[in-house]
Structure 1
Amino acid sequence: MIKHVLTITLNPTVDKSCEAEGIKPEKKVRCSQPKYEPGGGGINVSRGLARLGVSSTALFPSGGRTGELLEKLLEKEKVAIQPVPVSAETRENFIVVDTASNDQYRFGMPGEAIVEEEAEKIHAAILGVSPFPEIVVISGSLPPGIEPQFLSRLVKELKAKNVKVVADTSGDALTEILKEGVFLLKPNLGELSKLTGKEELDNESADEAAKQLIDEGKAEIVVVSMGPQGAYLVTKDENLHVPAPSVKKLSTVGAGDSMVAGMVSVLAKGGSMSEMAKMGVACGSAATMSKGTGLFTKENAERLYQWLSR
């Protein structure tokens, strides 16, 4: 039986993307028709899970005109949603590709502040989800108004309910989450370096740094994403390197979220650690084959997974 998954995105966004030829300062830039897509860490994980045939519920604060658009976009992708109404307008991000150079420009907006009463409403909504999830993915940044301590309190309460917590965030939010410890952590080399105080990590030292986090009780499984070098999966008893397949890269937007979706899809089905790592790398690599913020296609992910499983 597939485990129920809840994704939490505290700082969701609508990603607006377009193309333009020859971006220069002081010049009027003529853009293509904009494309609107749902965005934010956990939301992207839910979108990825839907493509892999694993249902999840995406919980996020939603406000204003952009919040309404976000909800409609997710419903169009057949993602089950639990929006929590807030007064703050849901933020937008803007991505533009210069077709003359294929350079990608990404503009991230901070979003409006969530007030304290609304933060408590979000907290109550998470703990009131029914049926209660067995896996919770906390992914993405924190909006203004929500303190990092919100996450450590939440993780403590989720673990008390025997939930497997998957974390993919950074900075103070990640530091706070790891005070309680999680089931699965997906840092990149830079994040792993900051968490362990070890500088200039390479393949060998990344393994040691990941084991340090496990020994300290901060995570049971650490999957270190290393971009074109693939990923390292480290547990107390296991160490596995999965190389990234060589693909034509069009965009790196959403590759990390796609990797988490791939891993969680296998976790929800009760698969092995090896299968989990390979599906994560397959989905992350497949995402780079799509333009803009398109995440991955199921066909590309499955093809790359088969290649990695040979």
Structure 2
Amino acid sequence: MPHIVTLTLNPTIDVATSVPEVTPEHKLRCGPVRRDPGGGGINVARVVRELGGEAIAVYTRGGATGSQLEELLEEKGLLRRSVPLQDATRESFTVAEGTGAREYRFILPGPTLSEREWQRCLNALEDVAVGAAFIVASGSRRPAYRRTSMPVWPGWGSAWPCAWWWTPTVRRCGPRWKRACSWPSPTAAS
């Protein structure tokens, strides 16, 4: 059993491309497109795997974009457990302008979980977290949960240590962090 289990309630397909210049009211011809599986917990599981550890990602998925997310995660060889949703998985997209000095990030909202879907997420997490050293719940929360705290699960804090991570961004950490920890170029081959 993997030592780290991640939970991503609002995963995404991260779409990245570039344009020479962003200008209003004109068609902007984009460069090559890169698609990556994303969302806080999925990204944590990917990094753990890249560093040689074992992690399993628990996440939601729905619609055609949910199927594409499954394919992308399969390509990455990530251990996973998905929870089907009625609504489609969200996408986000980043457009790099020019040589990448400026990025425009568009984050689309995800679907709202029904009470039944939310319970299935908790059940899936409980099933795969047996024997885990850590549970990492990370990523954007859906609009329906922004005004309330996350539901408390009795097992959290007693049976398993729990880590709640925040997502570092240039706005939160400043331009030095961007230079020190930059992701590959949006147009780089995956």
Which residue of the partner structure matches residue 184 of structure 2? 290
SS, match of residue 84 in structure 1: strand
Give 1 or 2: higher helix fraction. 1
List runs of 5+ in structure 2 lacking aligned partners: none
Structure 2 residue aligned with 1:42: 41
Whose RCO is larger (CA < 8 A, sep 6+)? 2
- Secondary structure, aligned partner of 1:66: helix
2:155 to 147, 157, 165: 157
Which of 158, 163, 166 pairs up with 1:166? 163
Residues of 2 paired with 1:293 and 1:106: CA distance? 15
Greater C-alpha radius of gyration: 1
Summarize deviations over 1:15-36 as a string: whole Å, max 9, x none: 1111111110011100012111
Q: Structure 1 residues 100, 115: closer, same or farther in 2, change over 3 A?
A: same
Matches of 2:45 and 2:7, distance apart in 1: 9
Cα shift at 1:66: 0.6
Superposed displacement of residue 229, structure 1? 6.8
Distance change >3 Å, CA 289–CA 59, structure 1 → 2? closer
Aligned positions of 1:271-290 closer than 5 A: 285=180, 287-288=181-182, 290=184
> Which residues in structure 2 correspond to 1:66-215 (within 5 Å)?
66-99=65-98, 102-129=101-128, 131-146=130-145, 148-151=148-151, 153-154=152-153, 156-161=154-159, 163-169=160-166
Q: Secondary structure at the match of 1:159?
A: coil
- State TM-score, norm by structure 1: 0.54
Residues 107 and 27 (structure 1 numbering): CA distance in 2 closer, same or farther, change over 3 Å? same
Q: How big is the shift at 1:189? A: 10
What displacement does 1:292 show?
Answer: 3.0
Conserved? CA contact 2:17–2:187, under 8 Å: no
In structure 1, stretches of 5+ residues that fail to align are 171-185, 191-225, 231-247, 250-284, 295-310
**What's the TM-score once normalised by structure 2's chain length?**
0.86
Q: Name the structure 2 match of 1:254.
A: none
Structure 1 runs of 4+ aligned residues shifted over 4 Å read: 226-230
Cα separation, 1, equivalents of 2:29 and 2:7? 36
How many residue pairs match? The answer is 187
Q: Which residue of 1 aligns with 2:19?
A: 20
Deviation at 1:145, TM superposition (A): 3.5
Post-superposition shift, 1:146?
Answer: 4.0
**Alpha-carbon separation, structure 1, partners of 2:97 and 2:175:** 23
Cα distance in structure 2, aligned partners of 1:168 and 1:124: 21
CA change 1:67–1:123 in 2 (3 A) is same
